[in-house]
Chains A and B, each alone.
Chain A
Amino acid sequence: MTQAQNGNPVISIQKVSKFFGAFQALKDTSLNVKSGERVVICGPSGSGKSTLIRCINRLEKHNAGKIILNGVDLGDNKESMEAIRTNVGMVFQQFNLFPHLSVLDNLTLGPVRSRKIPMEDARKLAMKFLERVRIPDQAHKYPAQLSGGQQQRVAIARTLCMEPKIILFDEPTSALDPEMINEVLDVMVELAGTGMTMLCVTHEMGFARKVADTMVFMDHGEIVEISPPEKFFKEPDSQRCRDFLNQILQH
Chain B
Amino acid sequence: MIRITTVILIGIVLSGCSSNWGWYVVDPTKASGWVNLKFLLSGMYYTILLSLTAILISVVVGLLVALPGLSDKPFLRRLNQVYVEIVRAVPILVLILWVYYGLPQVTGLTIGVFWAGVIALALSDSAFQAEIFRAGIQSINRGQYEAAHSISLNYVDTMRFVILPQAIRRILPALGNQLVYMLKMSSLVSVIGMSELTRKANELVVSEYRPLEIYTILVLEYLVIILLVSAGVRWLERRLNANEHN
Contacts and interface: CB of A to CB of B under 8 A. Distances in A.
B147 A92 contact: yes
A155 to B, nearest CB: 8
B169 A100 contact: yes
Contact of B157 (A59, A114, A141): A114
A159 interface: yes
A162 B151 contact: yes
A84 interface: yes
A114 B244 contact: no
Nearest to A85: B152
A109 B246 contact: no
B159 to A, nearest CB: 12
Interface in B144-163: 144, 146-147, 149-154, 157, 161-162
A144 interface: yes
Contacts, number: 71
Contacts of B150: 57, 59, 89-90, 92, 96, 159
Interface string B164-184: 011001000000000000000
Interface residues of B, number: 21
A20 to B, nearest CB: 14
Interface string A81-110: 100110001101010111111000000011
A142 B151 contact: no
Main secondary structure of the interface of A (DSSP, over half): loop
Contact of A97 (B147, B153, B154, B161): B147
B207 interface: no
A144 B147 contact: no
A102 B152 CA distance: 19
Contacts of A90: 146, 150
Nearest to B144: A96
A234 interface: no
Interface of A: 57-59, 81, 84-85, 89-90, 92, 94, 96-101, 109-110, 113-115, 141-142, 144-145, 155, 158-159, 161-162
